[in-house]
Amino acid sequence: MSDASYCALNSPVQELAYGEISLETAKHLVSVKQLPKVRRSPFTVVSLFAGCGGMDLGFKGGFTFLGKRYASHPFEIIWANEINGAACRTYRKNIGQHVREGDIWTMLDDLPTQADVVIGGFPCQDISVNGKGAGISGKRSGLYRAMVETVALVKPKIFVAENVKGLLMRPHAAALQKVLADFKALGYEVSYELYHAADYGVPQTRERVIIVGTLPDIKPFKPPTQTHDAQKYITAREALHDLVSMVEAESINHIWSRASRSPEQGDRRLLADRPGYTIRAECHGNIQWHYNLPRRISMREAARIQSFPDNFIFDAKLRETERQIGNAVPPVLAWHIAKSVAKVLKSPVEWR
């Protein structure tokens, strides 16, 4: 984003959009040309375990989902890492060329020396309800230590870590406290919250833990205000109805699994009048059945349930696309979290 365009985003109109000034105040500032001084560069972001880019898209903003525009945020992702090659292809296609492919432990020497924000959803297969229960001692979920190491090296003002609801379950209580303690040992004020994606306009009953750490000399992080309640959740029908009569189209990922029905391979059918079930990352038969059609939902439909915009194209075949969608942080949920992060970073010292 150029300096000029960034300044335009932070006019009284943008402050009004963020609810920070009233309409009358905005009009007055414009009329007398008393524009506030603004930071002339976006906040820099390092992204770990980026996958196909769901969280990164949410932090960037500037996309449309189900007819609603999600404005651009003042963030520039300057460095990202992902080990899966197919996910990196999708990331480059939709987010940017800055993603580094490879094992994070081999990439630490390549990290920027400083960034304002570190984000990432460290792998959770050993913690999830459907996992093996190994917790943070497991090979995959133990990668949270790479995020701790990155925070120690980059020293961001704030970090955001996403994980599964299982991290809050009693068998993982010690693991949660260990994760929190390791981040606190770096000098951060650390908090966590359980988010239900449907509360923020995602047509999916997905629950995830978000851990946030802030340096002591900046504003405390406040979770974003919920935008939907159970009576106003976006339903599967609302999210998918316009795709019902569309034939398969690989160019937009509107393709689906032919796996036969089997309790061992996912046999749930979407309910038209409620949000979709959690999209899982396992391949083959775990994608759910359409609420009305005699087939599993397509990858485009799964992407809709995850709140990806329709112009986000996955550069992979069906099974790998399933994995990318299921592993992602819903961009709309990430957008709301990013909005709250931006408010934290807009301190009086930097912005006035």
**What whole-number distance in Å separates Cα of residue 320 and Cα of residue 200?**
27
**What whole-number distance in Å separates Cα of residue 45 and Cα of residue 52?**
16
**What whole-number distance in Å separates Cα of residue 58 and Cα of residue 74?**
11
Kind plus residue range of the DSSP H or E element containing 99: strand 99-101
Question: DSSP letter at 207?
Answer: E
177 vs 183, 184, 220, 331, CA distance in Å?
10, 10, 20, 28
Kind plus residue range of the DSSP H or E element containing 189: strand 189-196
**What whole-number distance in Å separates Cα of residue 123 and Cα of residue 128?**
10
Only one residue has tokens 């959740």, namely 233
Question: DSSP letter at 296?
Answer: B
The structure tokens listed for 231 are 């009576």
The structure tokens listed for 258 are 């032919």
- Rounded to 5°, angle at Cα 147 from 86 and 198: 70
- Give the active site residue among 7, 52, 88, 124: 124
State yes or no: is 52 an active-site residue.
Answer: no
According to DSSP, the residues that pair with 44 across neighbouring strands are 76
Kind plus residue range of the DSSP H or E element containing 93: helix 85-94
Catalytic residue numbers, as ranges: 124
